[in-house]
Amino acid sequence: MTLIACSHGTRFQEGRDAIHALIAQVQQLLPETPIAEAFVDVQEPSIDDVVASVDGPAVIVPLLLSAGFHTGIDIARAARTREDVVAAAPLGPHPLLAETLVARLEEAGLRAGDHVVLAAAGSSRPEAAVHVERMRDLLAPLIPNPVTVGYAAGADPRIATAVASARAAGAERVVAASYVLAPGYFANEVAAAGADVVTAPIGPDERIAQVIAERYREGLDAL
């Protein structure tokens, strides 16, 4: 049973390397499982081509943190072309992602007086914002800091607005928690939004690899 690891795709080599490293971590967790890489944009092979060419049943695991256009349209369409292919849920929200965010915040030197902005890529589809808000609810109890949400695109408030609002409310520092999987366009948008501190993207990380393996097993149960 093939795991099709479907990511967005990026022109940034650092981002491509991060996704490859994450898939390698998944392969260690699922050593007997064939893994095929696919993309919804920018890179090849496309998800449609991979689904058409894979031998036997497969589970598409979106290497995407929230539901959105690519999960609801591109990946869902590809999965419908075959009866023996199913699409799993996106990676988030998930407690292990919240733990990874905490680790990145600690690595960035989070302080007691900081205000954290959970900085997501964003989508015009409302279910994406619901998923990000749920991630905020998972993250907030794990740290003593206030946590609000900002988006790079597609939804409001934008990250820069969320940063400015936190600063106006009296935050000693504003920390943007990069809720993106790998370096690339959206990570750069987070970095440019004016926060005092910006965390590294959450991937690659063994906890995220565990989430991918979990989504794969959920997909197997649905076949």
pLDDT at residue 180 in the model: 97
What is the predicted pLDDT for the residue at 141? 98
DSSP state of 71: I
How do the domains of the chain map onto residue ranges?
Answer: 2-92+204-222, 95-198
> According to CATH, what is the number of the domain 2-92+204-222?
3.40.50.1400
Q: How many C-beta atoms surround the C-beta of residue 194 within 10 A?
A: 16
Q: What is the pLDDT of residue 131?
A: 96
Q: Are domains 2-92+204-222 and 95-198 of this chain identical in fold?
A: yes
In this prediction, residue 126 carries a pLDDT of: 87
Which residues, 6+ apart, have CB-to-CB distance to 6 below 8 Å?
Answer: 37, 38, 39, 40, 47, 50, 60, 61, 62, 63, 64, 75
- For the chain, residues with pLDDT lower than 50 are none
Distance between start and end Cα atoms, the chain: 10
- b/e per residue, 52-75, with b = 16+ CB within 10 A? eebeeebbbbbbbbbbbebbbebb
Helix axes 206-222, 13-29, angle to 10 degrees: 60
164 alpha carbon, distance to own chain's centre? 24
Three-state DSSP at 146 gives: coil
State the pLDDT at residue 69: 74
* pLDDT (0 to 100) of residue 222: 85
pLDDT value of position 70: 75
pLDDT for 124 equals 84
Q: Does domain 95-198 have CATH number 3.40.640.10?
A: no
